[in-house]
Structure 1
Amino acid sequence: MMKIFYTDDDPDDQDIFKDAINELAEPIELWTQNTGGELIDLLQNPPPQPHLIFLDLNMPIRNGYEILKEIRETEQLKDFPVVVFSTSDDEKAINTTRQLGANLYIPKPSSFNSLKKVIRHSLSIDWQTFAPTQDTYVYRV
């Protein structure tokens, strides 16, 4: 079973993400965190180990940039694939997250069907071999 961690401080976004996962009818176990600190605690005290992490950028206390930086600088966490999943479609945000080592950047889609499509796309990637380029780093629907 694939384990996905989704960190977002917005409970509505978490609920919509859960609904999309459920509609995919894939063997997925979804773990949600409300803060970056919760994500780091969970990653440092396994089980479970995620196959994929979806990370929001705009969170209080410690934002997604800080959490991404910490993940990439921590030896036992640095290899987890991280998809930045944000309402921001700003080039500066995209470039910063790429420099910090995110594997993929997805601007949050506006429709439920598009959300299912971006999740499905993320699940189809072989994260062991995927190396993002300027052309493949951002996935938009």
Structure 2
Amino acid sequence: MKHQIIEFTDGEKLTKHLADKANPLPDIIFLDLNMPRKSGMECLREIREDERLKDITIAIYSTSSSDDDIENTFVAGANVYIKKPNNFDYLVKILNDIMLVNWQYITDGLNKDSFIMNVT
């Protein structure tokens, strides 16, 4: 399965890219909570408020294990919360697992118990 990955160094560049209707919409967005210039939470809220973007799957990834961060991103409409592992191989496994999920069905029954993605 081939995927095109576009990386942005800050939240403002991401939202500017998404706002340009000439760019195709992504299937999934991975948001770091601690991005410069515009945080992942700010980007998440803006995406969910935009009618054109609101149905894009959003995976939050962060070093934070804070219950508040997890709760706030769940309430704001993220599809999954990934706690960044310390090991690169684990990160690759999580990202691969995320790419294999059929989010059309997961978002219909999204619940807080399945919100946090763990490495197994």
Is the shorter-chain TM-score for this pair beyond 0.5, marking a shared fold? yes
SS of the equivalent of 1:32 reads: coil
Q: Deviations over 1:16-39 (max 9, x none)?
A: xxxxxxxxxx41111000111111
> What is the CA–CA distance in structure 2 between the aligned matches of 1:61 and 1:117, rounded to whole Å?
29
1:10-89 equivalent positions in 2, closer than 5 A: 26-45=1-20, 46-89=22-65
CA contact (8 A) 2:30 2:60 kept: yes
> What is the CA–CA distance in structure 2 between the aligned matches of 1:112 and 1:61, rounded to whole Å?
26
1:74-113 equivalent positions in 2, closer than 5 A: 74-113=50-89
SS of the equivalent of 1:116 reads: helix
Consecutive unaligned residues in structure 2, runs of 5 or more: none
Give the % identical residues.
37
Deviation at 1:59, TM superposition (A): 2.1
Q: Deviations over 1:77-121 (max 9, x none)?
A: 111100001111111100000000000000111112101110111
> Normalising to structure 2: TM-score of the pair?
0.90
Q: How many residues align?
A: 116
- Aligned residues: CA RMSD: 1.1
SS of the equivalent of 2:29 reads: strand
Consecutive unaligned residues in structure 1, runs of 5 or more: 1-25
SS of the equivalent of 1:79 reads: coil
> What is the CA–CA distance in structure 2 between the aligned matches of 1:41 and 1:62, rounded to whole Å?
11
Say which is worse superposed, 98-107 or 119-128, in terms of deviation: 119-128
